[in-house]
Amino acid sequence: MTVKRISALFICIVLILSLCACGDVSRVQVIDVPSQLYTQEDIRAAIEVIKSDFAQDWDHCSLLSIQYAGDELMTECYTDDTNEFESLPEMYDADEAIILYSAFYVSPAAEYDVENTLAVDTTYEYWKWILVRDKGGTWRHVDHGYG
């Protein structure tokens, strides 16, 4: 192959990849929230799972911020008999659950995405992400949304 053909092929690949829609996590602000229940490493691992999922599956969206929901909410999730999250780990056959909150923006380009169900040109705040794991294992993203 000649240098011209290789250059042309490279440019085509770059253009095709730039047209592929994906979630943007390049400017996300990770907000540190102290915890007595989880180590910062545990929290960061959960955040990385969501960042990865967001980048792969949230076309035309930009993740703006993400943080651990806090020990108070998690304690309620495990101790309050009226709380819908009491049995979260059991629902997903896991030992532990963690909840993160985020904010993200849906760009106007999402209007033309037939799979989009979100309001375009809108920022969503306090979006909840639920992850579970077996004790000391890897976090799994199992649900998300408002609630």
pLDDT of residue 28: 97
9-37 pLDDT, tens digit each: 444 443 343 345 689 999 999 999 999 99
Where do the domains of the chain lie? 23-145
- pLDDT beyond 90 at 124: yes
How confident is the model at residue 16, as a pLDDT?
40
Structure-token match 């250059």, residue found = 7
* pLDDT reported for residue 17: 36
28 burial (CB, 10 Å; 0-12 / 13-18 / 19+) is buried
CB 48 within 8 A of CB 25: no
How far is Cα 21 from Cα 56, in angstroms, rounded to an integer? 9
Is the predicted pLDDT of residue 52 greater than 80, yes or no? yes
- Comparing C-alpha atoms, which of 13, 106, 21 is closest to residue 63? 106
Q: Give per-residue pLDDT as tens, 54-72.
A: 999 999 999 999 999 999 8
**Residue 12's pLDDT is what?**
44
Average pLDDT, the chain: 84
HSE of 87 in the Cβ direction (CA atoms, 13 Å)? 5
The answer to whether 59 and 23 are in contact (CB under 8 A) is: yes
